[in-house]
Amino acid sequence: MPELPEVTTMVKGLRKTVLKSAVLDIWCDSKKNIKTPSFAKFKKGILKAKIEKIERKGKLILFYLNNNKVLIVHPKMSGHFLYGSWERIEDKWVSKSKGALSDPMNRFIHLMFFMNNGKMLAFSDLRKFARIELWDEKDLKKADMVKNIGPDALKISFQEFEEILRNKRKIKQVLMDQKLIAGIGNIYSDEILFFARVNPFRTADSLKKQEKERIYKGIKEILEKGVKLAGSSISDFRKIDGKRGGFQDITKAYHQKECSKCKGKIKREKIGGRTTNFCEKCQK
């Protein structure tokens, strides 16, 4: 699932390619992903609208249009944007030149925006779980996806973080709860807790001051490193040019078999239905 570093990477790519461009036409073969409003109204609200601003809010991407509407995209499990030129041949999108579609993970295109600069913005989503909505900007705070988001993981103060940790749930679950802290998911929570040497099964309210400080430091350092490396492409995430990010090459816990510190086995257990990777010896 795209987390804060992957969504930030998408936003950076979108700003370089489609900012200040207008949408001339839209193609879609998975209208169920357009949750608000109906597809007909969605298309009417976007056509000929110019993209004035692109922002990240938690794991969401917000496109602010010059007609006072806001396009919200939640990539969910496998969504990512691609920028280029394609043509539709026998029910498939085909690259006009060698490019992103040479990677199988980029071939699940279900939404295409035709831009006024002659290029196209595609949304590839293997699992088709993405949620896409169009709102009037004045009503944006009413959107459930927006109003239920907690403070941003890279902007939260230590005082706010301490308050959130007055929680009896497991620390892994607290870090991943988007209503409490926005932007952290399965990959980065594992890496943050490994960095902090804290067992993911510990309850948040059991943590000592020093442990809280290490986790807080880990949030900033790990997420910033993820952004610098353009996210993680362990699964299906790709950058807007179709290429892979680099964070998967430096993970210490997630998808690892051996602990880089003690050389012991990295355990894999479920917490809240999510596979959790940790070292039982190094993380107390």
The single-letter DSSP state of residue 31 is G
Which of 3, 6, 191, 211 is the catalytic position?
Answer: 3
- Residue indicated by tokens 């539709």: 88
- According to DSSP, the residues that pair with 55 across neighbouring strands are 62
One-character DSSP codes across 70-120: EEEEE-TTTEEEEEE-EEEETTEEEESSSSGGGSGGG--EEEEEEETTS-E
Burial class (CB in 10 A: 0-12, 13-18, 19+), 144: exposed
Intra-chain end-to-end CA distance of the chain, in Å: 27
Locate 8 and state its tokens.
């930030």
Which of 2, 5, 75, 200 is the catalytic position?
Answer: 2
The question of whether 59 is a catalytic residue gets the answer: yes
Residue whose C-alpha is closest to residue 149's, from 174, 180, 175, 172: 180
The question of whether 96 is a catalytic residue gets the answer: no
Which of 56, 59, 214, 238 is the catalytic position?
Answer: 59
The question of whether 274 is a catalytic residue gets the answer: yes
Which of 12, 107, 274, 280 is the catalytic position?
Answer: 274
C-alpha pair distances (Å), 182 with each of 12, 95, 238: 18, 35, 21
Q: Are 179 and 153 in contact (CB under 8 A)?
A: no
The question of whether 211 is a catalytic residue gets the answer: no
Would you name the residues annotated as active-site residues? 2-3, 59, 274
